Structure 1
Amino acid sequence: MPAALALTLLGTPALAEEVGSFSNDWTGNGVVIEAFPDPEVEGVTCHVAHFSRSLIDRVTKGNWFEDPSNASIACRQTGPLVIGDIETDEEGEEIFSEGKSLVFKSLAVRRIWDDANKTLVYVVYTKQVTDGSAKIAISTVSTFNQEVRRKP
């Protein structure tokens, strides 16, 4: 991970662990799969897949310091659910952020509580200083009819 990217991770609410990666073309561009636990909901792990540009791609196409906005997310219950102090308003809260350019773009995950359906909704999206991206994906974890504890 480049030093600039590592510096952007220092203030993030949750840190991801790379669990897999593979090259998807001859230039070395790839897909990286990272896992991170929800910092306020024990028993939920999210996996995010995102694009990673190779050195060859950066040299031939320019735009050295930026990766594409494409990403996908899947969140699942991976243990007993214990919910901490989560935001329950309609905006939810950002639980993960990772830099995708030197300064101006980051990949983020936001958790939203759907009280009517007793479901945690996770949205992966790209934040940019001037333009947001319409490239989003969601995943849900239902708490319906489950024993859910609250953190003290």
Structure 2
Amino acid sequence: MRLIALALLMTPALAQAEEIAKIGVDWVGNDIVIEAVADPAVGGVTCHLAYFERSVLDRLSQGNWFEDPSNSAIQCSRTGAVDVSGLRPGRPEEVFSEGRSLLFKSLRVKRIYDAENRVLVYLAHASELTEGSAKMSMSTVPLLPEDGTDAPAR
């Protein structure tokens, strides 16, 4: 039990998503959900993630009852002071993860710090246990000279 607690404490904290809108797209109750996800390691960056959520009627009529599609879209913006001093360039880090099926699929957001070009790159993608998914969406946030590093701006 102590080992599990220690493992949980050592796991980096992932961002929590806040649902800001749900848009009905058809008469059977399928929706597009839009969530705001603040980057917990950087601060000052908020990503808006949109994804499709299947209705009960659609699940019953189409099969695949415990799974939502892998499609997603992401857009990230500066919403405050950005501090990248704790990031390592070129290393993908998970910002957010949310299950998209009962067991084997998740929607993930990863951050990559491109120090050379002074940009934060955010990638939304599906992760599936049985097969990979090529469905992805990407957004970038340009950094300013005062953003937590002494590297000169280009």
How many Å separate the matches in 2 of 1:73 and 1:84? 24
Q: Provide Cα deviations, 1:66-124, integer angstroms capped at 9, x if missing partner.
A: 000010000000011123522423x4111110000000000000101112210000000
Alignment-derived partner of residue 15 in structure 1: 16
- Separation in 1 of the partners of 2:92 and 2:26? 37
Counterpart CA distance in 2 for 1:121 and 1:61 is: 35
Question: What is the TM-score normalised by the length of structure 1?
Answer: 0.85
Aligned to 1:50: 51
User: Offset of 1:63 from its aligned partner?
Assistant: 1.1
- Structure 2 unaligned runs (5+)? 1-11, 150-154
Q: Give the gaps of 5 or more residues in structure 1.
A: 1-10
Q: Whole-Å Cα distance in 2 between the matches of residues 43 and 132 of structure 1?
A: 32
Q: Distance in 1 between matches of 2:105 and 2:85?
A: 29
In structure 2, C-alpha distance between the alignment counterparts of 1:12 and 1:103, rounded to whole Å = 21
CA contact 1:87–1:93 (8 Å) conserved in 2: no
What amino acid maps onto 2:128 in structure 1? Answer: Q
Shift of 1:149: 2.8
8 A Cα contact 2:13 2:40, kept in partner: no
Give the residue type in structure 1 aligned to 2:18.
E
**Structure 2 residue identity aligned to 1:72:** A
Q: Which has the higher contact order (CA 8 A, sep 6+)?
A: 1
What residue number does 1:136 align with? Answer: 136
Deviations 1:16-65 (A, max 9, x none): 00000111011010100000100111100000000000011011111110
Residues 101 and 84 of structure 1: is their aligned pair in 2 closer, same or farther, counting only changes over 3 Å?
A: farther
Question: 2:68 corresponds to which letter in structure 1?
Answer: D
Q: Per the alignment, do residues 70 and 78 of structure 1 end up closer, same or farther by CA in structure 2, a change over 3 Å counting?
A: same
Aligned to 2:74: 73
The 3 A distance-change label for structure 1 pair 84 and 18 is farther
1:126 maps to a residue whose letter is A
Letter in 2 for 1:106: S
Q: What TM-score comes out, normalization by structure 2 length? A: 0.84
CA RMSD of aligned residues (A): 1.5
* Aligned match of 1:3: none
Greater strand share, 1 or 2?
Answer: 1
Separation in structure 2 between the aligned mates of residue 147 and residue 42 of structure 1, nearest angstrom: 14
The equivalent residue for 1:103 is 103
